Chains A and B, each alone.
Chain A
Amino acid sequence: GQNIDQPTEMTATEGAIVQINCTYQTSGFNGLFWYQQHAGEAPTFLSYNVLDGLEEKGRFSSFLSRSKGYSYLLLKELQMKDSASYLCAVRARTYKYIFGTGTRLKVLA
Chain B
Amino acid sequence: EAGVAQSPRYKIIEKRQSVAFWCNPISGHATLYWYQQILGQGPKLLIQFQNNGVVDDSQLPKDRFSAERLKGVDSTLKIQPAKLEDSAVYLCASSVLRGLKYEQYFGPGTRLTVT
Residues of chain A touching chain B, judged by Cβ–Cβ distance below 8 Å, are 4, 30-31, 33, 35, 41-45, 48, 50, 87, 89, 91, 94-102
Contact status A97-B33, CB under 8 Å:
yes
Contact status A100-B45, CB under 8 Å:
no
Q: How far, in Å, is B95 (CB) from chain A's closest CB?
A: 8
List residues 57-80 of chain B with CB under 8 A from any CB of chain A. none
**5 A–B pairs (Cβ distance < 8 Å), ordered by A:** A94-B55, A97-B45, A101-B40, A101-B42, A102-B42
Residues of chain B touching chain A, judged by Cβ–Cβ distance below 8 Å, are 31, 33, 35, 40-45, 48, 55-56, 91, 100-109
Which of B35, B43, B44, B56: most chain A Cβ within 10 A?
A: B43
Q: How far, in Å, is A27 (CB) from chain B's closest CB?
A: 12
CA distance in complex: A98, B56 (Å): 12
Known contacts A48-B101, A95-B31; decide if A41 and B42 are in contact (CB<8 Å).
Answer: no
Known contacts A50-B101, A94-B55, A97-B33; decide if A42 and B45 are in contact (CB<8 Å).
Answer: no
Q: Which 5 pairs, one residue from A and one from B, show the smallest C-beta to C-beta distance?
A: A99-B42, A42-B106, A101-B42, A99-B43, A96-B56
CA distance in complex: A31, B40 (Å): 24
Residues of B contacting A: mostly: strand
The 8 Å CB contact of A98, one of B45, B55, B109, is B45
Which residues of B have CB within 8 Å of A48? 101-103
